[in-house]
Amino acid sequence: MQCFKSKYGPWALVAGASEGLGAAFAEALAKQGLNLILIARRSDKLEELTNALKNKYPIEIKYRALDLADVEPIKLYVSQLGLDIGLLVYNAAYSPIGYFENISDENLAKIVEVNIKAPLLLSKLVLTQMIEKRRGGLVLMSSLAGSQGSPKIATYAASKAFNTILAEGLWKELRKHGIDVLAACAGAISTPGYKNAQTTKDAPGTLDASKVAEKTLRALGKGPTIIPGVINNIARFFMGRIFSRKLAISIMDNNTKNLS
């Protein structure tokens, strides 16, 4: 715990922290003794989470309700805090479900803003400070959906592929500065958002949010990517190494067609 705190503390910034996986990351980091900066759209959820964590852990928490689709106010807020941020966990994602032809231009643009522009520019902001200190960490939440074309969530999947490749490149670039970078390529996670979108039973390999958060943080510093869960690792091996690309896309189509 002390080693983790000295490497990635004293403050951790979690973007997309109101509930589900973001809240699980916040609690996992609180267990490690890190102070938290929590950002998400819903002020009520942030306040609820902040109060719950403060009652359990002797840490400081700051939170602000901000829309991850508009990164400039977030950059301004983080810069004005003047805190020593040693870890950024970018968990926020926007994923309108539907076939490309039916998704509005506005929603397509929002995918880019939340899933690509915000993690890119927020990472740039905090990494500048980490490079000066020669320590720190960056976690970008990606998805197994980004490993191949994924019908009905095609643009979301493409944005997650961007985050994986970005993390892999930064992992190599920033090692010389003592900074660890990790992309967590998760499968299905049991969160409120997933439950609302899924019309049938959970997909094979679905994990609790707390397990994904804990496995991801344990993997930080050990390599550029992690796929939480044994079943998900097996699935990724077959989808990426054994099956043809056409078959892998067809399998994803079968898995995503029940999302709504």
CATH for 79: 3.40.50.720
Where b means 16+ CB within 10 Å and e means fewer, 159-170 reads bbbbbbebbbeb
Active-site position among 90, 94, 156, 194: 156
Looking at the structure of the chain, the number of domains it has is 1
**Given this model, what pLDDT does residue 130 score?**
97
Q: Are strands 136-143 and 85-90 parallel, antiparallel or unpaired?
A: parallel
- Predicted confidence (pLDDT) per residue in 102-134, tens digit: 999 999 999 999 999 999 999 999 999 999 999
Q: Note whether 137 and 220 are within 8 A (CB).
A: yes
pLDDT in the model for residue 202: 66
pLDDT-flagged residues of the chain (< 70): 1-2, 191-202
Which domain covers residue 134, as residue numbers? 2-256
CB atoms within 10 A of CB 251: 16
Tokens of 73: 């106010």
Strand pairing category for 189-190 and 85-90: unpaired
According to the model, what pLDDT value does residue 167 have?
A: 98
Rounded Cα–Cα distance for residues 178 and 14 (Å): 20
The per-residue pLDDT for 27 is 97
The Cα–Cα gap between 238 and 247 comes to 10
Q: Is 57 a catalytic residue?
A: no
Please give the pLDDT value at position 196.
54
List 140's β-bridge partners, or say none. Answer: 90, 183
Two tokens, residue 169? 């490149």
Of 232, 218, 153, 131, which is closest to residue 189 (Cα–Cα)?
232
Tens digit of each residue's pLDDT (9 = 90 or more) over 66-91:
999 999 999 999 999 999 999 999 99
Angle between helix 209-219 and helix 20-31 axes, rounded to 10 deg = 50
Residues 6+ apart with CB under 8 A from 105: none
Query: In the prediction, which pLDDT does 42 show?
Result: 95
Model pTM score: 0.92
